[in-house]
Amino acid sequence: MWSRKYLAVTASFAAVMFLTGFAALAVVPTLPVAARDLHGVSLYPLVAGCFVAASLLGGVLGGDWADRAGARRPLAAGVVLAVVTLLVSATSTTIWQLAAGRFLDGVAAGMVAVSINAAIAQSYPERLRPRALSMMASCWIVPSLAGPPLAGLVAAWWSWRVVFFGLAVLTVIPSLAVVALLRGRSGQTGTAPSGDSGPRPALLVAGAVSVGAALAQYAVSGWDVRHLLSAVAGLALLVVFTPRLLPRGTGRAARGLPAAVLLRGLSSGAYFTLEAFVPLLLATSRRVPPVATGLAFTGAAVAWAASSWVQGHLLDRRPRHHLVTAGAVVMAAAVALAAAGTHPAMPALTAASAMVVAAVGMGVLAPSLTLLSLSHSPPGRQGYASSSMQTSQNLGQIAVMGIASALFNACLGFGSADLAGYAAAFGLLIVPCALAAVLASRARVDGPAV
């Protein structure tokens, strides 16, 4: 049970997560309409992807700030910036301004996510951390259910700009209230020790990684020389600067924090790539009505929240690396379902159900990895651990999605209704799921379960 000491702080964190989730999910259905109205359909991959690229920078900024001065200040700055970005996007006159708004929104979202994780680590006892993280995941249920359909209706009846303006109006007052509450209870949100236990990544490095990720997203919008050069430059920046944002040994899954960080990238890459390709399969090759696809998203949101609650309340005594293994196995089963759903003889529900099954696995796996990373982080370095997890998550999405997309495009034209491309993309996702299951033990915490 929550004590009075943590009730107000938990409520403030939950409010921030709810508002962040609602703003992030509600605008997604309006982005294609906005790109069309701004005559920038060819740059839609950049608009859609720069949010993830910018959250790399926001995660590092928020984590470094949280380690230096406690989590309250970067969290407050993140919620205020989120309101500003909605106004920037709402007043867009060019596709580049819309992309800038989404980039700033990614910075804000990265700061908020990392700051909340760091605040939980700095101010909550270990016995309450699983429940706190479970509650943060649950705060995405209503945004997942109501945000996209409401935004779609508003965009259809009025304008996509009304969606951004409306979200800004709805968000500004609660955001100010959250800032005031955090200021009033700064002593309970945690303040990082003044000592420095290791080098912190420079924001210049984080900026270079964000630019590299954005260039990679832009590169997939065309096949000419300019896009090829963007791909080369983006990959070069990622290869050179990404290792500086992650713990040493991440690439080889060194025991402890590096392994947990790598597992976050593998699992997130597999899940979000599946979440991107299954709706595309349903809409193009299987001719499933949009309502049915929306119900699949709804089911996935509920499944993620429910399994997250289970891991925080019913499985909180289980070793966390065991839960990571279990979650990865469930995700592998979901990938197999999606691959089976590409066969013309299988009902479309088979592929749609893969999203729900995968969400069950991620609901167990993601909080467990967060707890493992916090357990492995030195005192005063929880912000760095959280930002490393956020960076790995975003890079995992970009890398796995990019490889799957390249494989999908290479297979187009083979098989029935291009189903071979989908089958190949889904088959690729077995690899990160299997690696996560096998490497989970390298992230274990010796001693009693956290």
Does 436 share its domain with 305?
Answer: yes
**pLDDT for the residue 198:** 46
Distance CA 63, CA 394 (A): 15
Distance CA 315, CA 329 (A): 17
Does 254 share its domain with 347?
Answer: yes
Give the pLDDT confidence of 233-286 residue by residue, as tens digits. 988 998 888 888 888 899 899 998 999 999 999 999 999 889 878 877 886 677
Rg (CA), the chain: 21
**pLDDT for the residue 183:** 62
Q: Has residue 241 been placed in a domain?
A: no
Residue type (1 letter), 66? A
Does 297 share its domain with 193?
Answer: no
Q: Has residue 172 been placed in a domain?
A: yes
What letter does residue 446 receive in the DSSP assignment? S
- The closest alpha carbon to 392, from 245, 253, 248, 255, belongs to 245
Does 186 share its domain with 303?
Answer: no
Tokens of 53: 């690229």
Last residue of a domain, one of 172, 200, 228: 200
Does 193 share its domain with 252?
Answer: no
- The closest alpha carbon to 164, from 357, 30, 65, belongs to 30
What letter does residue 200 receive in the DSSP assignment? P
**pLDDT for the residue 11:** 72
pLDDT (tens place) for every residue of the chain, 450 residues total: 455 656 666 777 777 777 777 777 777 667 767 877 888 766 666 676 678 778 878 877 887 787 777 777 888 888 888 889 999 999 999 988 998 898 898 888 888 888 887 777 777 777 777 777 777 767 777 777 777 677 767 777 788 888 888 888 877 776 776 666 656 554 444 445 444 444 455 678 878 888 888 787 777 666 678 878 888 998 899 888 888 888 889 989 999 899 999 999 999 999 988 987 887 788 667 777 666 766 787 788 889 888 988 888 888 788 899 999 999 999 999 999 999 998 888 888 898 899 999 999 999 999 899 889 888 877 767 777 877 887 898 889 888 887 887 787 777 655 444 678 888 889 999 999 999 999 999 998 875 444
Does 1 share its domain with 120?
Answer: yes
**pLDDT for the residue 290:** 60
Domain ranges, residue 60:
1-200
Q: Has residue 210 been placed in a domain?
A: no
Q: Has residue 331 been placed in a domain?
A: yes
Does 181 share its domain with 259?
Answer: no
Considering the entire predicted model, what is its pTM? 0.70
Last residue of a domain, one of 169, 200, 231: 200
Does 195 share its domain with 125?
Answer: yes
Number of structural domains found in the chain? 2
Does 39 share its domain with 182?
Answer: yes
Does 4 share its domain with 68?
Answer: yes
Q: Has residue 231 been placed in a domain?
A: no
What letter does residue 30 receive in the DSSP assignment? G
Q: Has residue 401 been placed in a domain?
A: yes
Q: Has residue 148 been placed in a domain?
A: yes
Does 273 share its domain with 161?
Answer: no
- What's 131's domain CATH number? 1.20.1250.20
**pLDDT for the residue 61:** 83
- Each as own residue / partner, the long-range contacts of residues 38-45 (CB below 8 Å, 24 or more positions apart, any chain) are 38/92, 38/93, 38/94, 38/95, 38/98, 39/95, 40/94, 40/95, 40/96, 40/98, 42/221, 42/222, 43/95, 43/96, 43/99, 43/218, 43/221, 44/221, 45/217, 45/218, 45/220, 45/221
List, in order, residues 6 or more apart from 66 with CB less than 8 Å away.
Answer: 74, 114, 115, 118, 119, 122, 192, 382, 383, 386
Does 192 share its domain with 266?
Answer: no
Last residue of a domain, one of 181, 200, 219: 200
Q: Has residue 195 been placed in a domain?
A: yes
- The closest alpha carbon to 415, from 432, 430, 427, belongs to 427
